[in-house]
Amino acid sequence: MAVVLDARRKRLYYRSAYTGTKETDVLLGAFAQRHLAELDEQQLDDYEKLLEIDDPRLYKWITSQETPPAEYDTPVLRLIQAFELTD
């Protein structure tokens, strides 16, 4: 199981750093580098679901410019919203 999670985390890290929008790449890439290792399976599911959202919308949710739909308003999204690049 640990090997599967490690492969999953690597894939999620790559997806985080190469989303397509520079701002989102920088923010999610740094977040993933610092926090992916500590996320449990449910949190990884929630994070993966967020990565499926188009970059401009996701960026607006992260920066609280837009309220996300309830299904995406998870503890993981709130963790990303609270994340600072200087952490």
What's the pLDDT at 69? Answer: 97
pTM of the model: 0.89
Structure tokens of 18?
A: 């190469």
CA distances from 28 to 1, 8, 34, 49 (A): 25, 16, 10, 13
Dihedral, CA atoms, 42, 46, 48, 52, nearest 10 degrees?
160
What's the pLDDT at 20? Answer: 85
pLDDT tens for each residue of the chain, 87 residues long: 566 668 999 999 999 999 888 999 999 999 999 999 999 999 999 999 999 999 999 999 999 999 999 999 999 999 999 998 764
Q: Which CATH number among 1.10.150.250, 3.30.1180.10, 3.40.50.11540, 3.40.190.10 corresponds to the domain 2-82?
A: 1.10.150.250
- Locate the domains of the chain by residue range: 2-82
Dihedral, CA atoms, 26, 52, 39, 85, nearest 10 degrees?
20
What's the pLDDT at 84? Answer: 82
